[in-house]
Structure 1
Amino acid sequence: MAFQTAQLEMQIPQLRRYARALTGDAWAADDLVQDTLERACDRWQLWKAGSDLRAWLFTLMHNLFVDGVRRAMRQAGQRVDIDDVAQELATPAGSTDQVLDLQRCLLRLPEEQREVLLLVTLQDLTYEEVARITGIPVGTVMSRLSRARARLRELMDGTAAMPATVVPLKRLK
C-alpha cells in the first residue's frame, strides 16, 4: 500500500487544479478532491495495476462532480439559465482585470463543454482519455471541445450574442 499511496499523492496537485477549475471555488474544490481521494481509497481494489491512475482518479472526480450537480439541482428544485442572469455577471466597462474574467467565462460554458475543455487543455489528456473519463465517444469530445473553445473566445472578446427571444412557430397542416 505504501507504493500505491505514493502514486496517489503524486496526483493530488493535478486533481486540485482540475477541481478548482471545475467548481470555481477553492473550498468546494478541496471538498471534491477529498471526496475523490476517499472514494479512491475505499475502492482501490477496482483500479487495475498498470493502467492509468490519473485517468481513473479523474473518472472518479468527474462522476462525483456530476452526482453533486445533479443532487444540488434536485434539492434546489429549479434551474437558473446563465443567460437570464448575464447582466449580473457582466464586467463593468473599462475593467482592468480581464484576466480574472477567464474564470467567470469558463463558468458560463455549459458543464459538459467546460469539463472537456479543462481535461484537454488544463490536464493535457488525450481525446481518448477524456472520452473514457466522461463516458462519451471521442467524436463527441472533439465536438464539445470545438464548441467550448469558440464560445470561450466569444465570451472573452465580449462578442457573445445574448439569446434571442423565442418566436413561437405556427403549426402548418
Structure 2
Amino acid sequence: MAEIFPRLWRYCLVLTRNKDNANDLAQAACERALEKADKFKTGTHLDRWVFRIAQRIWLNELRSQAVRRGGGLVSVDDVDVPDTKTDTETNIYASQVLKEVYLLPEAQRIAVLLVYVEGFSYKDAAQVLDIPIGTVMSRLAAARGRISKRMDREGTGSE
C-alpha cells in the first residue's frame, strides 16, 4: 500500500482540490481498503481497487454535503510536482499545462489524471470511474481541446 499512497493522494487531491481533504480522503480510502481486504480479488490491480474506493467515498461525501467546496483550494504553485527535467523551458511549459488541467471541469480533470498522469489505460480508467470507455475517451478529447485552445489563445501553444 505504501507504494500506491502517493498516487492515491494525488488522485484524492484532484478529486477534492484541497490538501486537507485529500489527506482525509486518502486515509479513509486506505482504512476502508484494510477493512474490506477480504473483498479484494487476488490477481487484480490493487491501485485500481483503492482508487475506486476513494472515488466512492468522495461521491458519498458530495451527496451527503451538497456544499462541500469553497475556500482552501490548492494553487497549482503550491502542489509539489517533481522536477524531472533539466530544461527550464520544458518545466515552464509543463507548469502552464498543469495550470490549464486544474481549470478543467472535474470530470475531465480526473480523466486526465488517471490516464495521462497515473498511466491507466482507457479501459482501466473507465473501471475506476464506473463509466463507459467511450465516456473516458470523450472527456480526454474535450480536455485536450480546451487546453489547446486556451494555450493557443494565450500564445503559449506550439506553432
- TM surpasses 0.5: yes
CA distance in 1, matches of 2:104, 2:30: 27
Q: Quote the Cα distance in structure 2 between the aligned partners of 1:157 and 1:136.
A: 31
**1:138 aligns to what?**
133
C-alpha RMSD over aligned residues: 2.6
1:29-87 Cα offsets, whole Å, 9 max, x none, are: 11111111111111111110111101101111122222233333x247xx99xxxxxxx
User: How much has 1:113 moved relative to structure 2?
Assistant: 1.1
The CA distance in 2 between the partners of 1:138 and 1:99, in whole Å, is 27
Closer/same/farther in 2, CA of residues 54 and 145 from structure 1, 3 Å limit: same
Equivalent residue for 1:34?
Answer: 27
Q: What residue is the counterpart of 1:84 in the other structure?
A: none
Which residues of structure 1 form unaligned runs of 5+? 1-7, 81-96, 160-173
Q: Say whether the 8 Å CA contact 1:131–1:138 is kept in structure 2.
A: yes
Q: 1:9 is paired with a residue of what secondary structure?
A: coil
Q: Does 1:118 align with 2:113?
A: yes
| Residue ranges of structure 2 left out of the alignment (5+ in a row) | 71-91, 155-159
Distance 1:101 1:66, change over 3 A: farther
Instruction: Name the TM-score, length of structure 2 as normaliser.
Output: 0.71
TM-score normalised to structure 1 length = 0.66
Matched-pair identity in %: 33
Aligned to 1:154, which of 149, 152, 159?
A: 149
Distance 2:147 2:63 in 1: 24
* 2:27 is the alignment partner of 1:24: no
Aligned to 2:48: 55
